[in-house]
Amino acid sequence: MPENRPVKRIGFIGLGDMGLPMACNLLKAGFEVTGFDLRSERLNLLKGEGGLGSESVGELGQNSDVVFVMVMTGKQVAEIILGDNGLLKSMRPGSV
């Protein structure tokens, strides 16, 4: 990412016991945070704190400057990044 391009939109995949508090802290710091989680109740908790929700990993990747992935297994990480609707295919040039 070019140094002169500020991070405005953060994507957060995985809103469990570690991910949700981290995403909420980013909201409190003034960032726009969009989340994705397979469990709608976790996504609703983020929305209740002022965050946004995404319907898919690909949609989240398209609309984020930086994406954090906080999931449980390496297999999940591989699918999120390399899958058919994964981050590698959806993120814009210059995003992280």
Residue ranges per structural domain of the chain: 9-90
- Decide: 68 and 13 in contact? Cβ < 8 Å: yes
pLDDT tens-digit map of 70-80: 999 999 999 99
State how far the Cα of 35 lies from the Cα of 19, in Å rounded to an integer: 10
Is the C-alpha dihedral spanning 88, 91, 95, 96 positive or negative? Answer: negative
Check residue 6 and give its pLDDT.
Answer: 76
Q: Quickly state the pLDDT bin for 3 (edges 50, 70, 90).
A: low
- At residue 7 the predicted structure's pLDDT band, cuts being 50, 70 and 90, is confident
Q: Which CATH number fits domain 9-90: 3.40.50.1110, 3.40.50.2300, 3.30.200.20, 3.40.50.720?
A: 3.40.50.720
d(CA 83, CA 60): 14
